[in-house]
Structure 1
Amino acid sequence: MRNLFHSILVVAFILAGCSTGANAPTAHRASDVQSRMDHVAISVANARASAAFYRAAFGFKELRTPFGDAADVVWLDVGGGIALHVFGGRAATIANEQERHLAFAVADLASVTGFLTARGIAWQSFDGVQGALQTRPDGVHQMFFRDPDGYWVEVNDALKENTR
């Protein structure tokens, strides 16, 4: 028993020394990190064509990129300090799962569904009912569609007054 107690004390002193020494790493907690979402990047066939679609559908403004005009890259301001980086040149197909999607909040879902309908782009509820909205438990309405490159996009009315 005495040896066990001695061993525990030795381990405790070693651990205490490691955690309080001058060169010891400090404890890291998620609450200590200041962060925010910066951007989301997608890979598309043609960055200019895809960016034009997102600008027309949502009114996103184009941002200056560090790559210059020569590269097939467009950055879009989606609001709240967040950007959508659109990289061209993709030839491979993308994942087909609806669970992997971009999501944008708008104040007026009807303007987006009207835009899509006018261009012959089908939209649906998450469970695949064409032309149907669904309501989340928090009262926000949402719908899904595929962009010209096949990415699933959710649009919801979380910006509408009195939805949250």
Structure 2
Amino acid sequence: MSTFLFNHIALSVKNVDQSTAFYQKLFQLKEIENTASNSKTRWLSLGEGKQLHLIPLPDAEIKINKAVHFALTTTNFDEFIACLNELKIDYSDWLDVPNKYYIRQDGIRQVYFQDPNGYWVEVNDDVQ
């Protein structure tokens, strides 16, 4: 059987410029060339060849819940929490306790927040 590797995640967004600015400011993601088309879809690098594609669909209905999320890992979890506070981005633990992170049974800390379109993002310290 073939081996599969993660390539990208694509999100439909109401305002592509606002969403791009959000992810660039919070995660310092570098915008890369959209080599697939001449559309207004914007691509951001997640490093190691992984990408975040932001597809402008201003009239699309976006249905979300916390169980549908993507997760990023950081070695500077405390610094990231300070950044969320500084940027006044509301966050919570898995149980929806505001301004609190969750500690999993395996000791990994995680926090959840929503982007401008309501998508859930998890950041954790599961650095291996």
* Higher RCO (Cα < 8 Å, 6 or more apart): 2
Structure 1 unaligned residues grouped into runs of 5+: 1-31
Structure 1 residue 101 displacement after superposition: 0.6
Moved over 6 A (4+): none
Equivalent residues in 2 for 1:119-158 (5 A)? 119-158=87-126
SS for the counterpart of 1:120 is coil
SS for the counterpart of 2:34 is coil
Q: Of the two, which has the highest radius of gyration? A: 1
**For 2:44, which of 66, 70, 76 is the aligned residue?**
76
**For 2:55, which of 84, 87, 93 is the aligned residue?**
87
Equivalent residues in 2 for 1:1-164 (5 A)? 32-66=1-35, 67-68=37-38, 71-159=39-127, 164=128
Q: When you count strand as a share of all residues, which structure comes out higher?
A: 2
CA contact (8 A) 1:48 1:73 kept: no
CA RMSD after TM alignment: 1.5
- Closer/same/farther in 2, CA of residues 137 and 80 from structure 1, 3 Å limit: farther
Structure 1 residue 157 displacement after superposition: 1.1
1:21 equivalent in structure 2: none
Q: When you count helix as a share of all residues, which structure comes out higher?
A: 1
How many aligned residue pairs are there?
Answer: 127
Name the TM-score, length of structure 1 as normaliser. 0.71
Structure 2 unaligned residues grouped into runs of 5+: none
Q: Residue 61 of structure 1 aligns to which amino acid in structure 2?
A: K
- CA offsets 1:104-158 (integer angstroms, 9 cap, x no match): 1111122322222222221000110111111122221100001111101101012
Rounded to whole Å, the distance in 1 between the matches of 2:18 and 2:59 is 15
